[in-house]
């Protein structure tokens, strides 16, 4: 299979853009722009840029694209990208604008691109540079790699960031490159078909990625899972011929022996048919992406290792298929979790919370002090918040606020949801400690509460990414399919460990 994404060689150029040596200049253009800060650019297009604005063909509205040949400025093309209002120039906007510009360069087969970093308040420069680099990486991804004809577009091979060459800019380029690369790795895993990306294959891919990032990894097989007594994971796995795996990643930087042990637990259902409580046929194919939480954890762990962040982090991905085979768990079955709690399975399609229950138990056993699980967990969360917003559930509230702040810095829209303790009665069982479903109403909350049963008294947060993990509709900055949701939020949380660790 041809590769689905490519790394980019990034360099910083603090010199004059007129002396550029690229194929295309990508220039964010604001709505209120008069180009005063870009002397000579309009002239280099022979007046095309200002003419297009006068004709109202290009207004600087977000994600508009105007491509015109350049007669100067050391490039063949100008790709002007509408950047919206200057006041709304955030990292999240910069990332999308860079993706749009780089996609336009790729479709014109212009592999060497330069991005002009437009003026912004100085405290934001680093975050904008980081986002622009990430955005170009995200554009360097192709979902159609399994078509037999070759790619219609070129890759971006080289990126020149036109900005002052400071230590902060260099750091921003390094972070943006790493986070961009591993967001793409997560997208690749999520887009992979279920017949190819089985739990064993997911573990193989994680092993290869972790190896390249010098991140220690251990993969638990059937026997190990059985010896640990992970009856919830085993219960889900029983319906498939493919054996389950638990992927365990450990970032333990040299010299860091005190402070928190952050643990990320990602749902790794490589295909969710619903099991005996089988799903309708429509859209069942999308359930190959039910390991997006696991992919986000694998991607974030590799990025954290590559960035050498000075905090201990564990990544745990319980991986299995959820199929209705002859040995499958049935509605009414009772499973015993590794934590000892018993669960009556009333709906085999509520499998994510089951595997996460054993995953959280294992994180605690390995010494975690702070828990974050990530999962494409419920349709109910999409009903509540829409397709592009992550639901955040946490206890205590202060830990939720820390995770929310990380998501904001990451530019990933996330909304705090309540964790009403009295809703526990909704998943009461007559015969076991509890059941695995709480009914239709408040389904995202009862699912979160189920997982919380396994968090002990540790600070715990749960990110329900059922909506944002997968783009149903193409946007100018996001093709259909996997998005890499939550990778950036998890990395940001680890980057900020110095701030929350003491609390």
- Applying CB under 5 A, the residues found at the interface with Zn ion are 269, 272, 290, 352
Query: Per-residue contact track with ligand BES, 344 to 373, x per CB under 6 A?
Result: ---x-xxxx---------------------
299-358 residues near Mn ion, rule: CB under 5 A: 349, 351
Among 379, 401, 413, 501, indicate the residue that binds ligand BES (CB under 6 A): 379
Among 272, 412, 453, 464, indicate the residue that binds Mn ion (CB under 5 A): 272
Comparing CB distances to ligand BES, the nearer of 245 and 267 is 267
Comparing CB distances to Mn ion, the nearer of 144 and 278 is 278
Dihedral, CA of residue 489, residue 492, residue 493 and residue 498, to nearest 10 = -170
Q: Which residues lie closer than 8 Å to 296 by C-beta, 6 or more apart? A: 186, 266, 374, 465, 469, 484, 485, 486, 487, 490
Nearest-approach distance from CB 473 to ligand BES, in angstroms: 15
- Tracing tokens 């605690």 back to the chain, one arrives at 364
For CA atoms 338, 350, 460, 420, the dihedral sign is negative
443 binds, among Mn ion, Zn ion, ligand BES, none (CB under 5 to 8 A by kind): ligand BES
Q: Is 443 in the site for ligand BES (CB under 6 A)?
A: yes
- For 322, phi then psi, to 5°, come to -120, 95
Q: Is 378 in the site for ligand BES (CB under 6 A)?
A: yes
Comparing CA positions, the residue from 300, 42, 13 lying closest to residue 182 is 300
Q: Which residues lie closer than 8 Å to 208 by C-beta, 6 or more apart? A: none
Nearest-approach distance from CB 334 to ligand BES, in angstroms: 17
Comparing CB distances to ligand BES, the nearer of 20 and 352 is 352
Q: Is 466 in the site for ligand BES (CB under 6 A)?
A: yes
| Peptide linkage before 396 cis (omega within 30 of 0) | yes
Comparing CA positions, the residue from 317, 315, 270 lying closest to residue 294 is 317
Query: Which of 353, 364, 452, 488 does the annotation list as catalytic?
Result: 353
Question: What one-character-per-residue DSSP string does 38-100 give?
Answer: STTHHHHTTTHHHHHHHTTS----TT-EEEEE-SSTT-SEEEEEE---GGG--HHHHHHHHHH
Comparing CA positions, the residue from 416, 481, 349, 329 lying closest to residue 5 is 481
Query: Which of 76, 279, 286, 424 does the annotation list as catalytic?
Result: 279
124 binds, among ligand BES, Mn ion, Zn ion, none (CB under 5 to 8 A by kind): none
Q: Is 376 in the site for ligand BES (CB under 6 A)?
A: yes
Nearest-approach distance from CB 290 to Zn ion, in angstroms: 4
Is residue 61 flagged as an active site residue?
Answer: no
Q: Is 272 in the site for ligand BES (CB under 6 A)?
A: yes
Is residue 353 flagged as an active site residue?
Answer: yes
What is the spatial distance between Cα 112 and Cα 245, in angstroms, rounded to a whole number? 41
Comparing CB distances to ligand BES, the nearer of 143 and 379 is 379
The answer to whether 370 touches 265, Cβ cutoff 8 Å, is no
3-state secondary structure of 210: helix
Residues at the contact surface with ligand BES, assessed by CB under 6 A: 272, 290, 347, 349-352, 376-380, 437, 443, 466
Q: Which residues does the annotation mark as catalytic? A: 279, 353
């Amino acid at each position: 299979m041809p590769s689905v994404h490519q790394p980019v060689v990034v360099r910083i150029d603090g010199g004059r853009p007129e002396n550029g040596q690229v194929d295309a200049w990508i220039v964010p253009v604001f709505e209120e722009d008069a180009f005063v800060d870009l002397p000579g650019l309009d002239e280099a297009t022979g007046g095309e840029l200002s003419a297009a604005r006068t004709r109202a063909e290009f207004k600087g509205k977000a994600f508009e694209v105007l491509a015109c040949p350049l007669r100067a400025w050391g490039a063949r093309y100008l790709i002007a990208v509408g950047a919206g209002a200057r006041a709304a120039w955030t990292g999240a906007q910069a990332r999308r604008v860079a993706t749009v510009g780089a996609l336009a360069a790729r479709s014109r087969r212009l592999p060497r691109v330069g991005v002009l970093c437009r003026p912004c308040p100085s405290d934001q420069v680093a975050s904008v540079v980081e986002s622009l680099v990430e955005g170009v990486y995200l554009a360097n991804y192709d979902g159609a790699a399994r078509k037999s004809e070759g790619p219609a577009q070129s890759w971006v091979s080289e990126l020149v960031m036109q900005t002052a060459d400071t230590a902060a800019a260099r750091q921003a380029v390094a972070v943006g490159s790493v986070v961009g690369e591993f967001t793409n790795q997560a997208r690749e895993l999520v887009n992979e078909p279920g017949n190819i990306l089985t739990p064993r294959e997911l573990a193989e891919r994680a092993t290869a990625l972790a190896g390249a990032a010098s991140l220690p990894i251990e993969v638990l097989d059937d026997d190990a899972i059985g010896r640990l007594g992970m009856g919830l994971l085993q219960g889900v796995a029983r319906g498939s011929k493919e054996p389950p795996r638990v992927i365990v990643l450990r970032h333990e930087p040299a010299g860091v022996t005190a402070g928190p042990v952050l643990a990320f637990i990602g749902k790794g259902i490589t295909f969710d048919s619903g099991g005996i409580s089988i799903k309708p046929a429509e859209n069942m194919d999308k359930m190959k992406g039910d390991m997006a939480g696991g992919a986000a954890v694998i991607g974030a762990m590799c990025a954290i290792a590559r960035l050498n962040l000075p905090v201990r982090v564990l990544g745990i991905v319980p991986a299995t298929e959820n199929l209705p085979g002859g040995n499958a768990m049935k509605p009414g079955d009772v499973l015993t979790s590794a934590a000892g709690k018993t669960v009556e399975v009333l709906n085999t399609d509520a499998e994510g919370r089951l595997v996460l229950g054993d995953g959280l138990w294992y994180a605690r056993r390995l010494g975690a002090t702070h828990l974050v699980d990530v999962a494409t967990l419920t349709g109910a969360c999409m009903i509540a918040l829409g397709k592009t917003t992550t639901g955040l559930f946490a206890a205590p509230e202060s830990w939720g606020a820390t995770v929310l702040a990380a998501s904001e810095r990451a530019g990933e829209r996330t909304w705090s949801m309540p964790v009403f303790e009295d809703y526990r009665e909704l998943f009461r069982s007559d015969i076991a400690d509890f059941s695995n479903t709480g009914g239709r109403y408040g389904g995202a909350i009862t699912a979160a509460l189920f997982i919380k049963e396994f968090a002990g008294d540790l600070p715990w947060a749960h990110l329900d990414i059922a909506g944002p993990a997968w783009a149903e509709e193409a946007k100018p900055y996001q093709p259909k399919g996997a998005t890499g949701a939550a990778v950036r939020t998890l990395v940001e949380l680890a980057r900020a460990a110095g701030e929350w660790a003491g609390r």
